[in-house]
Structure formats: C-alpha cells, structure tokens
Amino acid sequence: MSTRDNIADILCIGCQKGSTSWLHSVLNCHPRTWAFPDSEPLTSTCKEAHFWDWNHERGVEWYRTLMTPPEPEPNRVTMDFTPEYAFLSDTQIAECKALNPTAKVVYILRDPMVRAVSAIRMHMLWHYGKDHKEPLTLGERFEAFCRDARLTQHGDYLRNAAAWRKQYPDLILLNYEDFHTDRTDSLSRIFDAFGLDPTEIAGDARKRMTQLMSGRVWASEPFDMDRSVLMFLQGLTWATRELTESELGMRFAEGAQMLKD
C-alpha cells in the first residue's frame, strides 16, 4: 500500500501552448523528480497523464500505479503536466484535491491571442503535415480549427484559475513571457516553490538543462495566417486579455508584437 501524500506532487494545468513541455523537461533534469513512463496512446509521452479526461474510467489505482516512482526511490517528486486539466469541473478538481492534497499546482498564462494562434497552428500541423503552404483564411476550415482547439475552454483563464483556487488557494500563476525574458530568475523562483535545489543537477542532466535554457521543446509550425484571422482572434480574446491583466496582475506583450510583424 502506497504511503505517499499525493499521487502527483506537481500538477501543471496549462495553459496549452504555454511552454508546459519546456518546464516539464527542465524539472525532469532534477534528480529528485520523476516522470512516469511513456504509455501512449493512454498518456501523452511522459508528461501528460490525462487521468481526468482520457483515463478516468481506468480507476484511481491505474493512476497511482502509473505515477508511483520505482524502487529504490519511491519518494521522488512526481509530475503530471496535462493542460486539459485547466478546465476541469468543480467536482473533478475536488477529486484531484482528495488524491493530491498537498500537491503544488502551477498554471502558466500566455497572451490569449498568441496562445490561440499557436493552438490553431498545432491543429493545422496534425491535419495537414509540415508541407502545407496555403495561408489560413476566415471560413469553414478556420472555424473547424477553432472548435478542435477548444479555444474558449483553454483560454478562459479567470474561470479556470478561480475554480482551481477553491481547492488549491496557493495556485502558482506564471507568465509565459517571463520564461523568455529572464529564464534564470523564473526558474530560480520555480525550483524554490517546488522545494528543489537546482545545484543538485549534475552531469548529463546539467548539460541537458543548459541546452533547454536556450531553446524550446516543442514549437508550433509557423503556418501563414491571413491578417483577417489574426484580427478575428484579437477580437475574440481581447476581453480575456484585459481582465487577466487587470484581475491577475499579468502583462502580455506578445499579441501586440505579432500584429506589428
């Protein structure tokens, strides 16, 4: 019988296209963290367990078995970085709290318009492959990509943050842009919040982390989009950006820069 306090010690609930893969890879360099074995198609690599959306019917013991580190280090810090958790219901989040009562929960927020653009490009890649050349314009194809990307659910930052704070009042909010303006300071604060000493990272893991500090794990293909698409997404996400900046104290610059380029 497991004596662990949590099934997952660190839960990252998104946002999708917010450098969750990069942060997971960085944390996975630490000798005291543990990522579950890649079990595709049940999980998404060793990062996203998808327990509450894809695998809930498999039961809690399936999740516990997946997440439990092997001997002789059963107390390593376990991680589940599944962006779809951001918009779980109150009932699902309460179940998560029961299974992970002392977990650290982190939510990375990104400029809503740029996040939407990146999500649509990801779905374009899945649909067309890398060689697609035709720019995306307004119309039925665009509307289908918006539906597939679930822009509303992934982009509803205030609702998602408020729902998770009911169970995890110490929810950690991070700004995606900080990862790209001052990664060293951002990671220092993140490691401290998770109780991890970055000086313990050594050898090949240190080399891997050094590489990650100057790169990305997964970048969207830069498929062309007509300016009308960008302006539509700007209008769609304008209220979210304004409210997030006002109520959560975030400042986003990516969207304005994208519209200038």
| Domains of the chain and CATH, by start | 10-260 (3.40.50.300)
Taking 70 as the threshold, does the pLDDT of residue 236 lie above it? yes
What are the pLDDT digits (tens) for 199-220?
999 999 999 999 888 776 555 6
pLDDT score for 218? 55
Portion of the chain with pLDDT greater than 90, in percent: 75
Torsion of CA 53, 51, 83, 94, to 10 degrees: 90
Most confident of 1-5, 169-173, 250-254: 169-173
Confidence of residue 126 (pLDDT cuts 50, 70, 90): confident
The C-alpha atoms of residue 216 and residue 51 are separated, in whole angstroms, by: 26
For the stretch 73-120, pLDDT in tens is: 778 999 999 999 999 999 999 999 999 999 999 999 999 999 999 999
Lowest mean pLDDT segment, chosen from 39-48, 91-100, 182-191 = 182-191
Number of other residues whose CB lies within 10 A of the CB of residue 160:
23
How far, rounded to the nearest angstrom, does the alpha carbon of residue 141 sit from its chain's CA centroid?
A: 26
Instruction: Please give the pLDDT value at position 186.
Output: 86
- pLDDT higher than threshold 90 for residue 160: yes
222, pLDDT greater than 80: no
Average pLDDT over residues 61-73: 90
> What's the CA gap between 168 and 102, in Å, rounded?
9
Q: Which two three-digit tokens encode residue 228?
A: 């009308």
User: How open is the CA angle 133-139-141, to the nearest 5 degrees?
Assistant: 55
Q: Report the C-alpha gap between 105 and 128 in whole angstroms.
A: 35
d(CA 169, CA 97): 11
Q: What would the mean pLDDT of 7-11 be, rounded to a whole number?
A: 97
User: Which helix (H) or strand (E) covers residue 109, if one does?
Assistant: strand 104-109
| The predicted structure's pLDDT at residue 256 | 86
In the block, tokens 């590489």 appear at 211
